[in-house]
Amino acid sequence: MSDPIFPYKLDNDYYGDVASFCDEFLEYSNGFNFKNDEETLEALCIGVYWYLYGTTALDLNSNIHQVLANLAEYRRAFPEDKPFIDSLRGKLLTKYLFKPYEKNEEKLTHENLNLLVNFLEATGDYMDQVPHFRNFTHNLDDCITITKWFCKNSANYLGRYTCDLNNYLENNHTNHWMEEDVIFYHGHELEYHLNMLGAEIMNRMFKAEYDERPRKAIVLPGCMNAKNKKCKAKQDRLGLVCTFCNPKCSAYKITRQYPDHEVYIVSHESTAFKGANKSDVEELGIIGITCVLNLISGGWKSSNLNIPPQCVLLENVACKSHWLSEDIYGEIDDDELKLKI
Ligand code: SF4
């Protein structure tokens, strides 16, 4: 395979850059009297999604919203029906929700926020974020103001990590049409930057709670074993556990490196923590490893279950289910994982 173009790519400077951006953003947001950093992040998410998807959200027919939201719920509850549901959702999403970006001139009111949340729910990509927006009570004008600041500044810190995104999307612009990940795949650069900043904010928010947990689990995405069909990992309650069949495998290396930690491979975020029981919820802190566009959803998924998360980003996307023509081994910054643990 020739060298692939990635929608994003990290290097050694990334964690320093995102920390500086986060410091500056939180200092700026201090002037808006948000309750805490979580509400600040909710406000920024709302503002960015309103900016990117507001026009489509205002146009979304309520019956289409309902059908798509029900299908997304059904898919979560019955993963065995995924092929059938995904095919139907892909067609509906491409026809009704996948629209080119159009400038949004409407004011963000509480009524419009409800329509935006309906849109997010219909995509199925924001299920763990939606409850945070349904209960949002802070002044909506502040969401817009901090979003304008974010849009003006994010590229200064994070733009070089997504500099190939437009090229990548132009080269693949019909990819994933009629598929359930069509909106996810064609995400705007601002969503990449939002997830990068969001992950840094969450890492700070949940650090103390995470440190107090007696059990630590590292949760790896399926690409870390390159979706290897010959993988001999064994199914455990919380995910697949490596049995060390292939020293080249990234999951092998991490599992060997941290013998005192639980390490699980989870093939899809919708199945993560499905088997968690009461003691897991009380004892576990997790380090989730994932690609950029899953960071905020993954963090809130874990914290909604009362399992404090920390996250480490994949250096670049690695799987062919969404991004590449072939699976490659997902890699991370080892030093960052060591620091988080
Ligand atoms: S080394 Fe572990 S995770 Fe990798 S393919 Fe083998 S069993 Fe699966």
Q: What is the pLDDT along the chain (341 residues), one digit of tens a residue?
A: 567 889 999 999 999 999 999 999 999 999 999 999 999 999 999 999 999 999 999 999 999 999 999 998 898 888 888 889 999 999 999 999 998 888 888 999 999 999 999 999 999 999 999 999 998 999 999 999 999 999 999 999 999 999 989 998 888 888 888 888 888 888 899 999 999 999 999 999 999 999 999 999 999 998 888 667 789 999 999 999 999 999 989 999 999 999 999 999 997 766 677 788 999 999 999 999 999 999 999 999 999 999 999 999 999 877 777 877 788 788 888 899 998 88
Candidate from 223, 227, 229, 246 with most ligand 1 atoms within 8 A of CB, to mutate: 246
Please state, as a whole number, how many other Cβ atoms lie within 10 Å of the Cβ of residue 14.
Answer: 20
Q: Residue 77: its pLDDT value, please?
A: 86
Residue whose CA lies nearest to ligand 1 atom number 6: 245
**């890699």: which residue's tokens?**
331
> Which atom of ligand 1 approaches the CA of 230 most closely?
5
Q: Using a CB cutoff of 8 Å and minimum separation of 24, what contacts does 301-308 make?
A: 301/128, 301/269, 301/272, 301/273, 302/273, 303/202, 303/206, 304/128, 304/131, 305/273, 305/276, 305/281, 306/281, 307/273, 307/276, 307/280, 307/281, 308/206, 308/209, 308/210, 308/213
Q: Residue 270: its pLDDT value, please?
A: 65
Q: Residue 102: its pLDDT value, please?
A: 83
CA of 113 relative to ligand 1 center, distance in Å: 44
Q: Residue 162: its pLDDT value, please?
A: 96
Q: Residue 269: its pLDDT value, please?
A: 67
CA of 226 relative to ligand 1 center, distance in Å: 9
Phi then psi dihedrals of residue 311, to 5 deg = -135, 150
Element (H, E) at 168: helix 165-171
User: What is the DSSP annotation of 226-270?
Assistant: TT-TT--PEEETTEEE-----TT-HHHHHHHH-TTSEEEEES-GG
Q: Is the Cβ–Cβ distance between 209 and 318 less than 8 Å?
A: no
CA of 232 relative to ligand 1 center, distance in Å: 6
Q: Residue 110: its pLDDT value, please?
A: 96
CA of 219 relative to ligand 1 center, distance in Å: 14
Q: Residue 1: its pLDDT value, please?
A: 55
Cα 69 to the center of its chain, rounded Å: 19
Whole-model pTM: value is 0.94
Q: What is the pLDDT of residues 147-182, one digit of tens each?
A: 999 999 999 999 999 998 999 888 888 888 888 888
Cα angle: 24, vertex 27, 29; to 5 degrees = 110
What value does the mean pLDDT of the chain take? 92
Q: Is the Cβ–Cβ distance between 319 and 176 less than 8 Å?
A: no
Residue whose CA lies nearest to ligand 1 atom number 2: 242
CA of 236 relative to ligand 1 center, distance in Å: 14
Candidate from 229, 230, 231 with most ligand 1 atoms within 8 A of CB, to mutate: 231
CA of 229 relative to ligand 1 center, distance in Å: 10
Q: What is the pLDDT of residues 299-318, one digit of tens each?
A: 999 999 999 999 999 998 77
Q: Is the CB of 45 under 6 A from ligand 1?
A: no
Name residues whose C-beta falls within 8 Å of residue 239's C-beta, 6 or more positions apart in sequence. 219, 264, 265, 266, 272
